[in-house]
Chains A and B, each alone.
Chain A
Amino acid sequence: MSANMVEVRGLDVTFGDTRVLHGVDLALAKGRTVGVVGESGSGKSTLAKVLVGAVPAATGQVEVDGVDVVGAGRAALRAYRRRIQMIPQDPYSSLSPRRTVGQALAEAVDPVRARVADHEELIVSWLERVGLTADMLHRYPHEFSGGQRQRIAIARGLIIDPHLVIADEITSALDVSVQAQILDLLAEIKTAMGLTMMFISHNLAVVQRVSDEVLVLYRGQAVESGPVERIYADPQHWYTRRLLDADPGSPGFSLAS
């Protein structure tokens, strides 16, 4: 077994006649965070779905946490999925309006019985960990703001102590001020727990705040990858430079046409 949590080699994914990912390589060591950047349609969400086994690979090798995701059977995949958690993008559709916060977290701990009383201590400790309070246990999602909902979604993803966390555009629906708080929270939990994480975003500035490494996807191909310091200081591919310059805070940004 390799020391890498994620080992992807020569991954191709096709939807009908369209090739969504082509020849993607990715190696992520345990305890590290990789930021996956690209614009809509670049294949970054598809890559995440391949890793959780929700989308099949056409060719290539995908090994996550010692499991060959491409060749795994149903039973192996089910057990594997308990060790990989995906935090979804939209805080408004990721929590069922008819389930309390406690029920949502209890379901993550025990998908079949999902009883709040059995795991109350654990659930409350996680609510407090993500900056919420114990009295919110029995409230419904509509009583929370977008940022608070995203905190609940993070707690739900991390409560079962997953080996790999995939965060798919988790701040893109939030205001910048709330986004900053969520990024701080994520960075803090990451350091404290030694989390291995894949952080997907279209915004390089956001990726930089939480990642150790970056993978830049452009039209299904990995055009550049490497440690954050090198990519941001010395981007080699024109597309990476274009992404950097599109950030309103970067030195290369201008609205001259």
Chain B
Amino acid sequence: MADSIPSVIPSVTSSVGTPSVGSAPTGRPRAFAWNAGLVVGLAMLGVVAIVAVLAPIALGTQASGIGGTPNLGPAPGHPLGTDSLGRDMLARTLVATRSTVLMALAATALSAVAGITFGVAVWLAPHRLRELGLRAIELAVSYPTMLVAIIVAAILGQGIVQVVVAIAIANIAGFARLTANLAARIASNEYVTTARLMGVPAHLVATRHVLPNMAEPTLILVAGAFSGALVEISGLSFIGLGAQTPAFDWGTLLNDGLSKIVMNPVVVVGPAVALTFTSLAALLVGDGLAAAANPRSNTTRSRLVRGMGTPSPGTGEEDAVLVADGIRVEHGGSGRELVKDVSFTIRRGEVLGIVGESGSGKSLTASVVAQLVGEGLTASARRLELGGTDLLGRVPATTLAQRVGLIYQDPGTALNPALSLGSQLSDVLRVRLRHSRRAATDLLLQKFRSVLLPDPEGRLRQYPHQLSGGMKQRAMIASAMSTGPDLIIADEPTTALDVTVQREVLTVLKRMNRESGTAVLFISHDLGVVRALCDRVLVMKDGEIVEQLDDVAALSGATVAHPYTKQLLAATPAVTVTGANDTTEARV
């Protein structure tokens, strides 16, 4: 069950983030989350920038003036010693900051512009050109960056400009590869397709739609590339291809110091520390940006606590599978109440439906019962019991895995595409309930048969993509039933399916419920579907139960009381047939 948690969280957060039509929009852009790495990295880069600007002005003459004592160790006035011409190493290191950083910046900027242009253009090009471009990028990234840089520098010759160009060329492929990946995802969005169909020229699609939507990951990439370029440029200068005397950078300083490292080791300390410091700063900024861009890195953990007040005395609870009293869910940050005091019971063998629109809190209510409250939310209940077990106390994961089965909305994303059905669907049985592989497989096979999955043995070895949506959902039902649970929670299990497949899946659910007497908590936005399957229905709106419908069979605009239920009922699409219609032949 552990590996199914991520799939429930998106559905929970999305239902929080999408307010219903008519209500005031509540979603707002996530505030930028500063983190320690980012602050430290930016501060370090700030120091580097100040040194780069001021050092050549203040220390320029000291760094290149000849005439001091050569080859000094640490001495007063020369804390890092002097080089073979008697120049102060500290001053030289600080002065070299400007040229080194400028070279790395220029190389990064050149490779970023060229690489990003190529990576984006490839995705807006016609099909054949795109394939050709992608293969070219793949070929280019297979050569090590440093090797390419050395070869290009060897062809171009020695000098600062040559080295910058060499590093830039060597890094283009990496940029192109990563931006092509980012652009691929964005180019498949409907807003890009729509813009192209509307006749927006390709270069405007790139600057208006593709580039702005990949800004954050690209920025992170640039920070990393800067750090790399810094080291690579110093590397080329170190082997003598870069800055030529009298110009100098950290790489040449290291090279000069290397020959004297045995007799005067302190001379390499300056450039080595400067290089490490600057490179580290860029990496910290890159990682900090990545962490800030990840919405999940700054949410708090979820909590489920016992609510205040005495539990309401229950009625007819002898055969209750689930007793929920006073469920509340609060958004930890804003304190907004998403579910307000929801109470219900599910009797043995009963199918209880919760119906409501996005944002009504129906999925959150179910997530509390399944103990899968989303991150950043605080849930509480006065009483929450599953077949006599208090869910508010410490519940062993095994108990929960055995007694609650989950069926998700989208069978496409609930299943791991890399694992065969047999292996992933018997996971809970083997890991939590300690069944042997053989016993788990047999049990799963038996359930596959009971959900009428054709060729059950063959399915065990199949991967999710080999099954249609309806077949996947049947397999999910089989897996949820395999532990012999007391309660099945089905969260919009047919919303992603065609109507014909929906009917098949509902039929299977109903059959399982009838044959094994397993209670079902069925969540849907479609009252038409809910009334077809459920014994009782709760109507939820804005986190509250507004109406409980006990007689689903007689459901009509006249029998419901709350205006919202009437509205839902009227909105439910139904085929209106005028004239005779022989439906008995229709079943195939």
Residues of A within 8 A of B (CB): 39-40, 52, 54, 78, 81-82, 85-86, 88-90, 93-99, 104, 107-108, 111-112, 114, 139-140, 142-148, 156, 175-181, 183, 202-206, 208-209, 229, 232-235, 238, 241-253, 255-257
| Cα distance, A104 to B198, chains bound together (Å) | 11
Q: Which of B145-153, B425-433, B436-444, B498-506 contacts A (4 or more CB under 8 A)?
A: B498-506
Asked whether B581 lies within 8 Å of A242 as measured between CB atoms, the reply is: no
- Considering the complex, give the chain A residue whose CB is closest to the CB of B573: A205
Asked whether A238 lies within 8 Å of B499 as measured between CB atoms, the reply is: no
Asked whether A147 lies within 8 Å of B29 as measured between CB atoms, the reply is: no
- Considering the complex, give the chain B residue whose CB is closest to the CB of A249: B574
Asked whether B201 lies within 8 Å of A111 as measured between CB atoms, the reply is: yes
Asked whether A82 lies within 8 Å of B193 as measured between CB atoms, the reply is: no
List chain B residues, Cβ under 8 A from A98.
209, 212-213
Instruction: Beyond the given A114-B208, A147-B20, A242-B586, please list 8 additional residue pairs across the A-B interface where CB-CB is below 8 A.
Output: A93-B190, A107-B195, A111-B198, A176-B526, A177-B571, A202-B499, A247-B573, A257-B508
Q: What are 24 A-B contacts defined by CB distance under 8 Å?
A: A52-B197, A81-B197, A81-B198, A86-B194, A88-B194, A93-B189, A93-B190, A94-B194, A96-B212, A111-B204, A140-B29, A142-B27, A142-B28, A145-B20, A175-B20, A177-B525, A178-B21, A179-B573, A181-B21, A232-B575, A244-B577, A250-B575, A255-B506, A257-B508
Asked whether A255 lies within 8 Å of B27 as measured between CB atoms, the reply is: no
Asked whether A176 lies within 8 Å of B191 as measured between CB atoms, the reply is: no
Asked whether B499 lies within 8 Å of A204 as measured between CB atoms, the reply is: yes
Asked whether B190 lies within 8 Å of A99 as measured between CB atoms, the reply is: no
List chain A residues, Cβ under 8 A from B191.
93-96, 99, 104
Contact with A along B492-532 (1 / 0, CB 8 A): 00000011111100111011000000000000011111011
- Considering the complex, give the chain B residue whose CB is closest to the CB of A208: B575
- Residue of A176, A177, A206, A255 near B503 (CB, 8 A) is A255
- Considering the complex, give the chain B residue whose CB is closest to the CB of A183: B573
Q: How many whole Å from B585's CB to the nearest CB in chain A?
A: 7
- Considering the complex, give the chain B residue whose CB is closest to the CB of A241: B586
- Which residues of chain B from 574 to 588 have a CB within 8 Å of any chain A CB? 574-581, 583, 585-588
- Residue of A40, A178, A205, A233 near B20 (CB, 8 A) is A178
- Considering the complex, give the chain A residue whose CB is closest to the CB of B23: A145
A99-B208 contact, Cβ under 8 Å, with A233-B581, A250-B574: yes
- Considering the complex, give the chain A residue whose CB is closest to the CB of B27: A142
Q: How many whole Å from B436's CB to the nearest CB in chain A?
A: 32
List chain A residues, Cβ under 8 A from B452.
257
A245-B586 contact, Cβ under 8 Å, with A93-B190, A142-B29: yes
Q: How many whole Å from B380's CB to the nearest CB in chain A?
A: 27
Asked whether B573 lies within 8 Å of A206 as measured between CB atoms, the reply is: yes
Q: How many whole Å from B129's CB to the nearest CB in chain A?
A: 15
A145-B18 contact, Cβ under 8 Å, with A93-B190, A111-B195, A250-B574: yes
Q: Which of B193, B578, B586 has the most CB of A within 10 A?
A: B586
B199 in contact (CB, < 8 A): yes
- Which residues of chain B from 526 to 552 have a CB within 8 Å of any chain A CB? 526-529, 531-533
- Considering the complex, give the chain A residue whose CB is closest to the CB of B29: A142
Asked whether B27 lies within 8 Å of A257 as measured between CB atoms, the reply is: no
| Cα distance, A82 to B195, chains bound together (Å) | 11
Q: How many whole Å from A234's CB to the nearest CB in chain B?
A: 7
| Cα distance, A145 to B25, chains bound together (Å) | 7
Asked whether B532 lies within 8 Å of A253 as measured between CB atoms, the reply is: yes
Asked whether B18 lies within 8 Å of A245 as measured between CB atoms, the reply is: no
B217 in contact (CB, < 8 A): no
Asked whether B189 lies within 8 Å of A143 as measured between CB atoms, the reply is: no
List chain B residues, Cβ under 8 A from A99.
191, 208-209, 212
Asked whether B499 lies within 8 Å of A88 as measured between CB atoms, the reply is: no
B572 in contact (CB, < 8 A): yes
Asked whether B588 lies within 8 Å of A248 as measured between CB atoms, the reply is: no
A82-B578 contact, Cβ under 8 Å, with A112-B204, A246-B499, A256-B507: no
Q: How many whole Å from B581's CB to the nearest CB in chain A?
A: 7
| Cα distance, A147 to B20, chains bound together (Å) | 8
B485 in contact (CB, < 8 A): no
- Considering the complex, give the chain B residue whose CB is closest to the CB of A41: B468
- Considering the complex, give the chain B residue whose CB is closest to the CB of A52: B197
- Which residues of chain B from 439 to 488 have a CB within 8 Å of any chain A CB? 452, 469
Q: How many whole Å from A257's CB to the nearest CB in chain B?
A: 5
Asked whether B500 lies within 8 Å of A39 as measured between CB atoms, the reply is: yes
Which 5 pairs of residues, A with B, have the shortest CB-CB distance? A249-B574, A252-B583, A180-B571, A241-B586, A205-B573
Asked whether B199 lies within 8 Å of A176 as measured between CB atoms, the reply is: no
List chain A residues, Cβ under 8 A from B39.
none
B100 in contact (CB, < 8 A): no
List chain A residues, Cβ under 8 A from B195.
107, 111
Asked whether B575 lies within 8 Å of A146 as measured between CB atoms, the reply is: no
- Considering the complex, give the chain A residue whose CB is closest to the CB of B526: A176
Q: How many whole Å from A214's CB to the nearest CB in chain B?
A: 11
List chain B residues, Cβ under 8 A from A81.
197-199
List chain B residues, Cβ under 8 A from A93.
189-191
Contact with A along B15-58 (1 / 0, CB 8 A): 00011110101011100000000000000000000000000000
Asked whether B525 lies within 8 Å of A175 as measured between CB atoms, the reply is: yes
B358 in contact (CB, < 8 A): yes
Asked whether B575 lies within 8 Å of A244 as measured between CB atoms, the reply is: yes
Asked whether B201 lies within 8 Å of A112 as measured between CB atoms, the reply is: yes
List chain A residues, Cβ under 8 A from B27.
142-143
List chain A residues, Cβ under 8 A from B198.
81-82, 85, 107-108, 111
- Residue of A78, A205, A243 near B574 (CB, 8 A) is A205
| Cα distance, A125 to B583, chains bound together (Å) | 47
B142 in contact (CB, < 8 A): no
- Which residues of chain B from 229 to 271 have a CB within 8 Å of any chain A CB? none
List chain A residues, Cβ under 8 A from B507.
255-257
List chain B residues, Cβ under 8 A from A114.
200, 204, 208
Q: How many whole Å from B252's CB to the nearest CB in chain A?
A: 44
Asked whether B583 lies within 8 Å of A246 as measured between CB atoms, the reply is: no
| Cα distance, A196 to B209, chains bound together (Å) | 30
List chain B residues, Cβ under 8 A from A202.
498-499
- Residue of B19, B502, B581 near A234 (CB, 8 A) is B581
Asked whether A249 lies within 8 Å of B209 as measured between CB atoms, the reply is: no
| Cα distance, A111 to B359, chains bound together (Å) | 35
